[in-house]
Amino acid sequence: MNFDEALEKLHEIDRECRYLDQTAAVLQWDQETYLPPQGVADRAEQLAFVRKLVHERFIAPETGRLLKELGSDSQNLRGDESLSPLEGDFCKVMRRRYDKAVKLPADFVSAAARAEGLSQAAWVQARRNNDFAAFLPHLNAMIDFARKKARYWGFGNGLLGDEYDGLLDIYEPGMTARNISALFGPLRDGLISLLKRIAARPQPDVSFLNREYDVAAQIRFNRVLMDRLGFDSSRGRLDVSAHPFTTSLGSDDIRITTRYYPANLLSGLFSVIHESGHALYEMGFPREIRGTCLAEGASMAVHESQSRFWENVAGRNRLFWDGLFPLLRDHFPGPLASVSVEDFYRAVNLVKPSYIRVEADEVSYSLHVILRFELEKQLFSGELEPEKLPETWRKLMKEFLGLEPETDAEGVLQDVHWSMGSFGYFPSYALGNLYGLQFWAKLSADLPQAEQAMGRGDFEEIHRWLRETIYRWGCRLDPPDLLQKVTGEKLSITPFLSYLEKKYTGLYGL
């Protein structure tokens, strides 16, 4: 086999694995949106089997052989033939994934997938019934699978780092609990201090937000909103699920979900803005990498930097609503009759600690995340027994946000992540805030008019900048390299804290 044939063969493996990954994503999307209740058991088997197949296909000895022939990174040459930078990155990403995947036995992957399906279904029930005890056996199983996975990769034996570092590495390559703690410590202190200063000031009247907002009108407005944000509905959809998410079922099939409450306009609406931010990233990969393993976000945190940019920096900006509030009022002429854009702007920026992460304000949000990070660290160090999670959750909530949830449904059971075994994922949300504000600072410097343009409902300059500086890379650059290339900086909490300080000083007259 010559060099070009080997490269084409590696692309074929990537494509086939991608078809199966996308197929698994369809099974999963359907599970979260439309699956009939009794379909859960078969679906778990189907998902487990498809995941087993993709794993087997990917770790076949052929993959390792091809990677060896092609060299593992963009610097490698073979004879006089060299890889283009693009193909070099392709081989680098394939190599990294192969090295991880090949260490997981097929039976383990398949058993984990099956257990995740059942665990998620159990979580849906447990949350509905506020019954942590019913979920605990599944949680224990998920922790056990996660520990084993980290150990298969060589973590937890004193060499590469602790088990939890192995899990963090899945979502944020190279990040460790120590690095994150170094950022989250001062971030927590800064946020708690800002929260206290805000709490001492008078609050705006936001009672209009809990009027009756017709769900059909919410759905209609969300479709218009997505369209304005640049979501291409010929390449995606919006549906309803218990927990909002974004998923790519194909290069031209990127789907988001939200949920609706008649007496809570903002929940469904801001989930749509958040998930649209993820979707714009996925829709924005350039043609040259579409349909390959490079057409993915640089990391979970960088993905979150996009969703949280649209949700907060754009979606909670006064200018954004100058452009869109008239349209919103057209959809809800009753409940918004006497509400001004200024009232609405203040309301969507209400800072008021509450139980639910995905509905938290911009200031307290990261504290929800830091809380989960602390719990995960303690769970995996063995300091915290899983059955003690509900009470430790309440203790930390009290410490960070000054309140205690009355039910586990509003506490430890609120998020889907642990039910899927996705430990180590949560920090991405707060790291995403940091990345997002560093990108925004650079974008504002490059394009001083971009923020004003929002006020005319015009996001074109922002889209172009994001496409040309971030989307274009897919996962070709690791997050620190991407950040360096775009901003010339290292990850920092300063832009994020300065942004909050300035914005909320204005809003609350601190």
Phi–psi pair at 292, nearest 5 degrees: -125, 170
Q: How many CB atoms lie within 10 A of CB 419?
A: 23
Cβ-count burial of 380 within 10 angstroms (0-12 exposed, 13-18 middle, 19+ buried)? buried
Give Cβ neighbours of residue 334 (< 8 Å, ≥ 6 apart). 211, 212
Q: Which two tokens stand for residue 166?
A: 């192995």
What's the min distance (Å) between Cβ of 393 and a copy of itself?
33
Nearest-angstrom CA–CA distance, 501 and 141: 42
CB of 63 to a copy of itself, least distance (A): 17
b/e code 322-345 from CB counts within 10 Å (16+ = b): bbbbeebbebbeebbeebebebbb
Q: Does position 11 bind a copy of itself by CB under 8 A? A: no
The answer to whether 223 contacts a copy of itself (rule: CB under 8 A) is: no
Distance, CA of 187 to CA of 50 (rounded, Å): 41
Does the footprint of a copy of itself cover residue 111 (CB under 8 A)?
Answer: no
| Residue 3 engages a copy of itself in binding (rule: CB under 8 A) | no
Give the residue, chosen from 9, 65, 223, 237, that forms a contact with a copy of itself under the rule CB under 8 A: 237
Touching a copy of itself, residues 310-339 (CB under 8 A): none
Identify the CA nearest to 127 among candidates 468, 471, 419: 419
Of the pair 110, 364, the CB lying nearest a copy of itself is at 110
Smaller CB distance to a copy of itself: residue 236 or 479?
Answer: 236
Tell me, residue by residue from 180 to 219, as one string, x for binding to a copy of itself by CB under 8 A and - for no binding. ----------------------------------------
Q: Is 261 in the site for a copy of itself (CB under 8 A)?
A: no
Q: Please list, in sequence order, all residues whose beta carbon lies within 8 angstroms of the beta carbon of residue 388, skipping any fewer than 6 positions away.
A: none
Q: Rule CB under 8 A: say whether 91 interacts with a copy of itself.
A: no
| Stretch near a copy of itself under the rule CB under 8 A, chosen from 17-25, 219-227, 394-402, 478-486 | 17-25
- Choosing from 172, 275, 311, 362, the catalytic residue is 275
Nearest to 336 by CA among 460, 436, 212: 212
**Residues forming beta bridges with residue 46, ordered by sequence position:** none
- Residue 81 sits at φ, ψ, to 5 deg, of -90, 135
Residues in contact with a copy of itself, counted by CB under 8 A, come to a total of: 37
Site for a copy of itself in 282-301 (CB under 8 A): 291
Angstrom distance (rounded) from CA 362 to CA 358: 10
Min dist CB 250 to a copy of itself, Å, is 3
Say which amino acid occupies 5. E
| Distance of closest approach, residue 498 Cβ to a copy of itself, in angstroms | 40
41 belongs to the binding site for a copy of itself (CB under 8 A): yes
What is the SS3 assignment for 445-456? HHCCCHHHHHCC
- Using the rule CB under 8 A, is 391 a contact of a copy of itself? no
Given candidates 253, 404, 410, 501, which one binds a copy of itself under the rule CB under 8 A?
253
How far is it, in rounded angstroms, from Cα 365 to Cα 371?
A: 10
4, 36, 200, 448: which one binds a copy of itself (CB under 8 A): 36
Q: Considering beta carbons, is residue 30 or 478 the nearer one to a copy of itself?
A: 30
Identified binder of a copy of itself from the candidate list 113, 209, 249, 397, rule CB under 8 A: 249
The answer to whether residues 264 and 207 touch, using CB atoms and an 8 Å cutoff, is: no
- How far CA 472 is from CA of 91, 278, 287, in Å, comes to 18, 14, 9
String marking each residue 44-73 x if it binds a copy of itself according to CB under 8 A: -xx--xx--x--------------------
Nearer residue to a copy of itself within complex by CB, 232 or 406: 232
**Quick check: 230 binds a copy of itself (CB under 8 A)?**
no
Q: Is 275 a catalytic residue?
A: yes
How far is C-alpha 324 from the chain's CA centre? Answer: 25
| Least spacing, CB of residue 235 vs a copy of itself, in Å | 5
Non-local CB neighbours of 381 within 8 Å, separated by 6+ positions: 162, 164
Binding residues for a copy of itself, rule: CB under 8 A, are 15-16, 19-20, 22-23, 26-27, 30, 34-39, 41-43, 45-46, 49-50, 53, 232-237, 239, 249-253, 255, 291
Catalytic residue set: 275
